[in-house]
């Protein structure tokens, strides 16, 4: 993530080391499989001065996953929530046709 962020950071901008996602304690939250941790990452983004630029960059790059710019990405698109892993279905889904 560091190399991607530095592509749009200039020396006059906030130092990459000051970004919430670069905190070593918090970095894993941004790519977690757990919905609650992704929400924590989104809350950290809310404090970030690069939120808008980060989100647009992630859209432009079609980020496959993770929290970018305060949003959860999945296959290059922003999704509202990420579902946690669940138990597999007990019964097969019936075809509607
Ligand atoms: S908006 Fe979030 S992911 Fe983007 S640079 Fe800021 S803290 Fe990191």
What's the confidence (pLDDT) of residue 72? Answer: 98
In-domain check, residue 9:
no
CB distance 20 to ligand 1 below 6 Å: yes
Determine whether the shortest distance from the Cβ of 66 to ligand 1 is under 6 A. Answer: no
pLDDT tens digits in sequence order for the chain, 97 residues long: 444 454 445 444 556 668 999 999 999 999 999 999 999 999 999 999 999 999 999 999 999 999 999 999 999 999 998 887 777 777 776 765 5
Do residues 91 and 85 lie in contact, with contact meaning Cβ atoms separated by under 8 Å?
Answer: no
> For residue 7, is it within any domain?
no
97 Cβ neighbours under 8 A, 6+ residues apart? none
The whole model's pTM is what?
Answer: 0.75
State the distance from the centre of ligand 1 to the C-alpha of 49, rounded, in angstroms: 8
Residue bearing the CA closest to ligand 1, atom 2? 45
68 lines ligand 1 (CB under 6 A): yes
Domain assignment of residue 52, yes or no:
yes
30 located within any domain = yes
- Ligand 1 center to residue 21 CA distance, Å? 6
- The per-residue pLDDT for 7 is 46
SS3 content of the chain, % helix, strand, coil (to 5): 40, 10, 50
pLDDT (0 to 100) of residue 84: 78
Residue 73 in domain: yes
Question: In a 3-state reduction of DSSP, which class is residue 77?
Answer: strand
Residue 5 lies in a domain: no
- pLDDT value at position 11? 42
For residue 94, tell me if it sits in a domain: no
Pocket test for ligand 1, best of 52, 70, 73 (most atoms within 8 A of CB): 70
Expressed as residue numbers, the domain containing 48 is 16-79
- Number of structural domains the chain divides into: 1
């Amino acid at each position: 993530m560091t190399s991607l962020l530095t592509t749009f950071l200039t020396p006059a901008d906030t130092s990459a080391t000051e970004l919430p996602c670069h905190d070593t304690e918090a970095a894993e939250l941004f790519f977690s499989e757990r919905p609650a941790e992704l929400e924590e990452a989104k809350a950290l983004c809310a404090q970030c001065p690069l939120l808008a630029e980060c989100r647009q960059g992630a859209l432009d790059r079609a980020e496959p996953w993770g929290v970018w710019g305060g949003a959860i990405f999945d296959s290059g698109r922003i999704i509202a929530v990420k579902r946690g892993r669940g138990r597999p279905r007990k019964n097969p889904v019936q075809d509607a046709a």
